[in-house]
Structure 1
């Protein structure tokens, strides 16, 4: 047996949920470009869970269930008030998702019907939890979710208590579509490993949230925003990037393990970044981003990934940096739960082997002789 670092190039599962072939990302066979331009996040979640786009009746039913389940138990909100105000937001989300299982009497029912309903519940509840904690740490009361609006609309409303404009809702909805699934990424793999033991769906999602928390996976867009803020102006971009290149520092938001010719999702967020800047009368973040992209791509040959422009989009939506990864979780939950359902449909516990690199033929030495 020979180990492959990071399991790179290893096919660890068969899946019909999403594919990345020749640089093209597709959900259930539909190109991400079509979905980003035409589909809502609710349609996308249904597609991932069910293998086909919903008709009007199916979509209305799903939206109705999201409305029904968007509230979270009052006792969970009280728990959020006890958390440190400076707690890591992904640690808060990880703990809250785990706690949700305690309030669900069907938590240990692993039938497909029960898990499909729990996937819908979780998809409805995550935005409420994240928005609630964001307000609680500022000394504000959580805002109850609205009925009859999209997940993107509801999240922005619960975060601020104010009705969001249509462009902002569209931008967040598009970002949710683009982040919904990405084949066998690290957090999705951890969800499948956990559920393969026949643990419950809450455990699987908790594993995934914990994995997404890592800066090499879900935290890249936060690091991108920190970089843009450090640069400050378009004029500062060239000197900043040159120093990064000379020092051989990693420039966050560029390159991808799977995409060698550019992330197909980046262009859609680039467009939304520009639109939001024009709407707000300030394109500074977009202009800096474009300059940085030109420098990095021109000198290192690296192209932006989905994290690069999502940073400026979220910032222009008024979202704090430390909520970027939790928003990623809201979207990717649809993919995580789709993979959990698929894993359970044809389950075998995931138990790879390791290449042993330690010593051989060692002898036990009695303690008095050591």
Structure 2
């Protein structure tokens, strides 16, 4: 049988690597204008939300498409407060996990365990999904913060259902009531990371949800995807760079040496933005304010020096990861929790995307372009 070359699809329909520029679906949750550097959640500018909103209100906005009334927001806060403390079995996993275990692996396993016992796990209606989303957003702060305390040998702190998600996370992590200004800074961080379009982890969640799998399974897919260093973890690499810098004066030389060695400097550039990420603009000010208030301005000053050197050398703009690491460090958050915190805030967006997918679902099943051998004859083992 003569081999014939398999026809290729027309070049015009062959996507770029990474599906860049491909519209993979429709969504009413997030609008990113990469040219002007504008980010909207359900029509509301992230700048306005960071100034006046709260993480809880942002969750409602993403889940319902509208801002809540005063009564609706009070009701959501009460539901979140009632679900802050996960069931005890998740702490057995935290206690048994080696301290060297990646915190994203631990979080993924704990979320999977919670899904096994969730009363609505097999129900994908809007009401059931909102109930599961509320529980996931409420429980994730404790999964991350209390697991860290257990790993460090400290007794778990108690949740306070009257306080916010941001307050409870900082309290559970440090074992003491946080300062209001610290709570507000962390609350803004949660708002800024809550949703960001069809990024890799959100796409993974939607692919899973599109099979009509459950919300916890979709979130586990998202957590596993976020663990990858090309998606999560960039702010951890930024902090490693800052710790390697000798001082502000030596920053430019250090940056130029890294660039000459073809080393990537994290916290710059973005697949979508062609100008400064609006979230970086907001976090820059919080990094400065926290550094001054906590008496440790060096992280802000070093980050500014890195930003200046990279922009002048390469013309690149900062993204959300450049300043978030210094903000978290000023709040006393261990570096290994940076990516789990990303998951904690993005839980709002992941769950909103699962709900949106389930409302108007079609299995996500794209084609691939075959680039292997042309058809050929099978040769028996004895004849090879």
Normalization by structure 1: what TM-score? 0.98
Contact 1:143-1:158 at 8 Å conserved across structures: yes
Deviation at 1:106, TM superposition (A): 1.7
Task: String of CA shifts for 1:173-208, please: whole Å, max 9, x gaps.
Answer: 011000000011100000000000000100000000
Contact 2:277-2:319 at 8 Å conserved across structures: yes
**3-state SS in 2 of match to 1:360:** coil
- Greater C-alpha radius of gyration: 2
| Structure 2 partner of 1:286 | 300
| Structure 2 partner of 1:99 | 113
Distance 2:104 2:376 in 1: 43
| Equivalent residue in structure 2 for 1:203, among 200, 211, 217 | 217
Counterparts of 1:179-328 in structure 2 under 5 Å?
A: 179-328=193-342
| Equivalent residue in structure 1 for 2:31, among 7, 19, 33 | 19
| Structure 2 partner of 1:163 | 177
Contact 1:86-1:137 at 8 Å conserved across structures: no
Deviation at 1:363, TM superposition (A): 1.6
Q: 4+ residue runs of structure 1 moved beyond 3 angstroms? A: none
| Equivalent residue in structure 1 for 2:355, among 325, 341, 349 | 341
| Equivalent residue in structure 1 for 2:102, among 88, 108, 113 | 88
Contact 1:224-1:252 at 8 Å conserved across structures: yes
| Structure 1 partner of 2:5 | none
Deviation at 1:140, TM superposition (A): 1.6
Q: Structure 1 residue 126 and structure 2 residue 143: aligned?
A: no
Distance 1:187 1:171 in 2: 25
Distance 2:324 2:101 in 1: 23
Distance 1:158 1:339 in 2: 28
Deviation at 1:142, TM superposition (A): 1.8
| Equivalent residue in structure 2 for 1:7, among 19, 23, 27 | 19
Q: Calculate the aligned-residue CA RMSD, in Å.
A: 0.9
Distance 2:161 2:27 in 1: 34
Contact 1:192-1:340 at 8 Å conserved across structures: yes
Distance 1:287 1:180 in 2: 27
- Specify whether residues 142 and 369 from structure 1 end up closer, same or farther in structure 2 by C-alpha distance, changes over 3 A only: farther
Structure 2, unaligned runs of 5 or more: 1-8
**How many residues end up aligned between the 2 structures?**
370
Deviation at 1:245, TM superposition (A): 1.4
Structure 1, unaligned runs of 5 or more: none
Distance 2:174 2:85 in 1: 17
- Specify whether residues 62 and 232 from structure 1 end up closer, same or farther in structure 2 by C-alpha distance, changes over 3 A only: farther
Distance 2:188 2:261 in 1: 36
Deviation at 1:28, TM superposition (A): 0.3
**3-state SS in 2 of match to 1:26:** strand
Normalization by structure 2: what TM-score? 0.95
Distance 2:79 2:254 in 1: 48
Distance 2:64 2:370 in 1: 41
| Structure 2 partner of 1:354 | 368
Distance 1:212 1:258 in 2: 17
Task: String of CA shifts for 1:251-304, please: whole Å, max 9, x gaps.
Answer: 100000100111111011000000001101221010001111011011100011
Distance 1:281 1:67 in 2: 33
| Equivalent residue in structure 2 for 1:38, among 47, 52, 56 | 52
Distance 1:278 1:97 in 2: 37
Contact 1:115-1:341 at 8 Å conserved across structures: yes
Deviation at 1:232, TM superposition (A): 4.2
**3-state SS in 1 of match to 2:181:** helix
| Structure 1 partner of 2:3 | none
Deviation at 1:364, TM superposition (A): 1.1
**3-state SS in 1 of match to 2:249:** helix
| Structure 2 partner of 1:61 | 75
